Amino acid sequence: MAVDEALLQHFDPDRSQPVLRLYGWEPPAFSVGRFQRAEEALHLERCAAADIPVVRRITGGGVIYHAAELTYAVVCAPRHISDVRGVKESFRVLTGFLLRFYGDLGLEASWAVDAPSAGECLGGRPPLCFAGKEEYDIVAGGRKIGGNAQRRLKDVIFQHGSIPLRCALAEALPFFRDPPPGLLDGATSLAQLGVTAAPAWLRERLAAAFGVTLGVDLLPSSLTAEEEATAARLSAERYGKTAWNLHGETP
């Protein structure tokens, strides 16, 4: 999370090239939304007893359990996606590569707005990310797969999201304070959809889908010295502190 924020802080909308970052989580952890009260969503004492970290994101939304998953982060300027300005429109554009990725895997996936279930209401802010659907969340077989969240600064768009390799929600249920009925039935994963390829191969396919969808050539890169320094500072001063992760308090 510190690296994600460092990439955002150092992005220059006039000079920087768009960034796609792919990563994972070890050990498994919970992330809570920027303005969420962690104690209202999670049994924090159970998390501590099980040595499951709880970290706060710089994006909004509900709590997510990160276990076996691919995670992506994108940093760009509106001009990189045809000067898209609205939040919903940028979500549509920046999740389009996920539809291509799933399609390349032989899966039928769509935005939630294009595949509504009977009686379903899109939107709202449930305390658990996978418990609700936004218009441009991705669904496959009627179930939500992964989640995406966005942060906007002046002329900079940051978005990150998760792609579950297998469904780990059952492992997380004992730590949720009020899991909604049917939570497990409303979410899915690649393994549940029959895709069990190696994570490294899936990362390659995800990057390829991003390049084709956005019309860009991807070049491998690493953090700059400035980004590394900022990430280290944020890790020490913020993401390594209970005050931030549990209460959203900054030093």
Give the residue numbers annotated as catalytic, written as ranges.
129
d(CA 61, CA 126): 8
CB 59 within 8 A of CB 160: yes
φ and ψ of 213, to 5 deg:
-65, -40
CB 207 within 8 A of CB 215: no
Q: What tokens does 181 get?
A: 């009925």
Task: Write out the DSSP string of 95-120.
Answer: THHHHHHHHHTT--EEEGGGSPPTT-
d(CA 184, CA 179): 10
**Hey, what amino acid is at 203?**
R
CB 81 within 8 A of CB 20: no
Q: What tokens does 176 get?
A: 């949720």
How buried is 110 (Cβ within 10 angstroms: 0-12 exposed, 13-18 middle, 19+ buried)?
middle
